[in-house]
Amino acid sequence: MLHLSNAEGYTVLVLSHADLVRLQDSPLASANGKILLALSPDLAWTSAAFKEADAMGQLDTAKILAILATSIAKTQA
């Protein structure tokens, strides 16, 4: 994965085919760890889970990763 930002504030991520394949199993983080990419087969469920966790003040990195793991596992079941 290539990750760059320019002076105008744009961030560009360029993924390889291998990155796309990996996204089917787990999220990918940019080199600086500040950008997380993930696939969700059920965007409505994932969005609701994020909103619920945020409303409870629990939307930290660990919770985000747990929600994404649950979302990915739902498609593999």
What residue ranges do the domains of the chain occupy?
1-39, 40-77
Q: How confident is the model at residue 55 (pLDDT cuts 50, 70, 90)?
A: very high
pLDDT in tens, 13-41: 899 999 999 988 889 988 888 888 998 88
Residue 77 has a pLDDT of: 52
Distance CA 5, CA 19 (A): 19
Residue 76 has pLDDT above 70, yes or no: no
User: Residue 54 — very low, low, confident or very high, per pLDDT cuts 50/70/90?
Assistant: very high
Cα of 60 vs its chain's centroid, Å: 13
Phi, psi of 29 (to 5 degrees): -110, 145
Give the tokens for residue 46.
């994932």
The answer, yes or no, to whether residue 74 has pLDDT greater than 60, is yes
pLDDT at residue 53, as a whole number: 96
pTM: 0.77
